[in-house]
Amino acid sequence: MLLFNFEMDSKDRAVVPLAGFPQLNNSLRLSIHEPPRQRIVMNYHLDGLSKEEGRIYISEKLRGAGYCQPVFEDAAMEAVLNATDNIPWIINKRCKASLLVGGVKEAALIRISSCRQ
C-alpha cells in the first residue's frame, strides 16, 4: 500500500509505503481508520508462490549463496513448501532451520528422515 498526502501546498511531502499481512487491511477497514484509509492510493495483495515458483525460489536463493549442487532432496523440498503455504519469508525460515539441523548433522543433502524406535 502507498499512503500519499497531496494537500500540503501542492508538494509531495509524504510518501509512506505500508507493508503487512492481510490483518493490516482488516485493521484499516475499521471506521476509526477511515482518514488514513482514504489517503491510500494503491493497494496490492501478493499470493503465495506456486509449487514450481517455490522450487525455483529455493534453488535461486541457494545458487545466490554459492551452492551449485542440490541441497534438498525432492521430498524435503516438497515438505518445506507444504509447511509454508509457499510464502517466501516462511520458506526462508524453514529452509534456514533445515540447513542448520543439516549442518549440525554434517549432512551433504537435506532429507526427510523417518522416526525409528
3-class SS of residue 69: coil
| Residues 48, 3, 1: CA angle, nearest 5 degrees | 5
- Residue 58, all three cell numbers: 529455493
Q: What is the tally of helices (H) and strands (E) in the chain?
A: 5, 3
Model confidence at 4: pLDDT above 70:
no
Question: What is the C-alpha separation between 29 and 1, in angstroms, rounded?
Answer: 13
Model confidence at 114: pLDDT above 70:
no
Ranking 4-8, 74-78, 84-88, 89-93 by mean pLDDT, the lowest is: 4-8
Question: What is the C-alpha separation between 18 and 20, in angstroms, rounded?
Answer: 7
Model confidence at 83: pLDDT above 80:
yes
Q: pLDDT digits over 62-73, tens only?
A: 999 999 899 999
Which residue carries 501478493 as its cell? 46
